[in-house]
Amino acid sequence: MSRLEVRDLTVGYEGGPVLHAVDVEVPHGELLAIVGPSGCGKTTLLRTIAGLLRAQSGEIRIGQRMVTTHGIHLAPEKRRIGWVPQDAALFPHLTVAENVAFGMLAGRGSARAARRAAKSDEVRRLLDLVDLAPLAHRAPGQLSGGQAQRVALARALAAGPELVLLDEPFGALDPMLRADLRAAVRELLRAEGVTGILVTHDQAEALSVADRVAVMRGGEVLQLGTPEEVYRTPATPWVAGFVGDAVFLPGVLHGDEVATAIGRLRAVPVADAAGLVPEDGADVTVLVRPEELRVVRADAASVADATAAHRADADRRADDGALDGIVTDVEYTGHDAMLALALADGVRLRARVTASGVVPRGTDVRVSVDGSVLAYRPEA
């Protein structure tokens, strides 16, 4: 049974809808990441689920309870959710412990009540959980950004919510802290058995932390699936480009192959949102992930390819459709490297290779594709 169900949700105002017919489902105990560029409606969706915004139409169900349906709107204070905003939003007049305690007051929030409740064991337990017990008596102004977010999370959990909503909680933190905190949040939600929704504009964060990812654009959910599904079989070229590095090539579909500038590739046609599958002989857009490109020095003295797993069958397909090119640039990131390639006929590609397989700039190489590629109907 899913914990959250959003069906056909439309939200908007005079200027037109901001969300159109959005469907989202989150199974119990899972963490869903909603990812998309600025203005895609992801925060609007989160705020509507929280009840901070009103929907025009559609339904939202949290657990067994319908909280939004047919214009009926359950106030946010009655939805039993936890809310962790981007700026942590700790109450500046309360200490860390009192902030957490404020979450347990069940509708009778006041500074005095929070002061009293701050001494309870439950507050201590929650502070231990987020590893902040020593800072219980600090004022929010004395916390770092990461600490503040952990307090905000503890406060959200204090009310015993069915659902925790996190609105870009890591947005203002530096990268090292982000990774740590991300992991901590996921662990915490799992440990508490709480369903969570995380809004972020960072696709790497979404893929790494979430059980499932919803990709939004222009007020619509383009794809909802596991991180691997979203990355491996993106619903549209745009999704592909948004969730990871992508090389797009024009091509023509011929049966289970597609003809492209880098030769004929094995292709899987993908249906678009309307369910239309590219027909035989149609123009298509081909998606190649940079790590799916195999790059071999032209002198063939040594072989550099995407993954060690591919090395075994490298020879078998060495002269199967490979093209000549030259390495025009190298972006070295430590664990791997991105090569910018220019093919003989002017097509430019990017290929990811393992760190050990880096080829210096200016090297002549041969390029081929591993496995099959996805073929999309070209976007209008």
Partner 1 sequence: MTDRVATPSPRRPWGLIAASLVAVALAAIPVIHLVVRVLSADPAELAAVFDRPRIPLLVGNSVLLAASVTLTAVALGVPSAFLLARARLRWRGAWAVLAALPLAMPSYLAAYGWLAWQPSMKGFWAAWLVLSFVSVPYVTLPVAAALRIGSTGLDDVARTLGRGPFGSFMLGTWPQIRPAVLAGALLVCLYTLSDFGGVALFRFPVLTTAIQQAYSASFSRDEAAVLAVLLVALALLVVIGEQVARGRAARRIQAAPATGRRRMTRLGPWTVPGLALLALVPAVAVVVPVAVLLGRVLTAETLQAFDGVNLAQAIGNTVLLSAGGAVVAVALALPIGVLAARHRGRMVRGIESAGYLALGLPGIVVGLSLVFFSLSVVPALYQTALVLAFGYGILFMPKAIGSIRSATGQVPTSLEDVSRTLGNSRARTWWAVTARLARPGIFAAALLAAVSAMKELPATLMLRPTGTDTLAVELWQRTDISAYGAAAPYAVALLLVAAVPAFLLSDARAGREATREAIAPDARAGREATREAIA
If one asks whether residue 42 binds partner 1 (CB under 8 A), the answer comes out as yes
In the sheet with 57-62, reading across from the earlier edge strand, the strands are: 16-27, 2-13, 57-62, 65-69, 72-73
Contact criterion met (CB below 8 Å) for 40 and 218: yes
* 269-to-11, 232, 244, 260, 371 alpha-carbon distances in Å: 33, 14, 20, 14, 14
Stated length of the chain = 380
Interface pick for partner 1 out of 60, 156, 215, 221 (rule CB under 8 A): 156
Least distance from partner 1 to the Cβ atom of residue 204, Å? 17
**DSSP state string for 100-169:** HHHTTSTT---HHHHHHHTTSHHHHHHHHHTT-GGGTT--GGGS-HHHHHHHHHHHHHHT--SEEEEEST
If one asks whether residue 266 binds partner 1 (CB under 8 A), the answer comes out as no
Interface pick for partner 1 out of 4, 24, 33, 47 (rule CB under 8 A): 47
By beta-carbon proximity to partner 1, the closer residue of 15 and 346 is: 15
Least distance from partner 1 to the Cβ atom of residue 311, Å? 39
If one asks whether residue 316 binds partner 1 (CB under 8 A), the answer comes out as no
Provide the H-helix boundaries in the chain: 42-50, 96-102, 111-117, 121-129, 145-158, 175-192, 203-209, 227-232, 237-243, 308-311
If one asks whether residue 142 binds partner 1 (CB under 8 A), the answer comes out as yes
Interface pick for partner 1 out of 8, 70, 77, 371 (rule CB under 8 A): 77
By beta-carbon proximity to partner 1, the closer residue of 141 and 255 is: 141
Interface pick for partner 1 out of 4, 22, 68, 79 (rule CB under 8 A): 79
Which residues from 161-220 bind partner 1, rule CB under 8 A? 165, 168, 174, 176-177, 199, 201
Residues that bind partner 1 (CB under 8 A): 11-13, 15, 18, 38-44, 47, 50-54, 75-83, 85-87, 89, 91-93, 102-103, 105-111, 141-147, 152, 155-156, 158-159, 165, 168, 174, 176-177, 199, 201
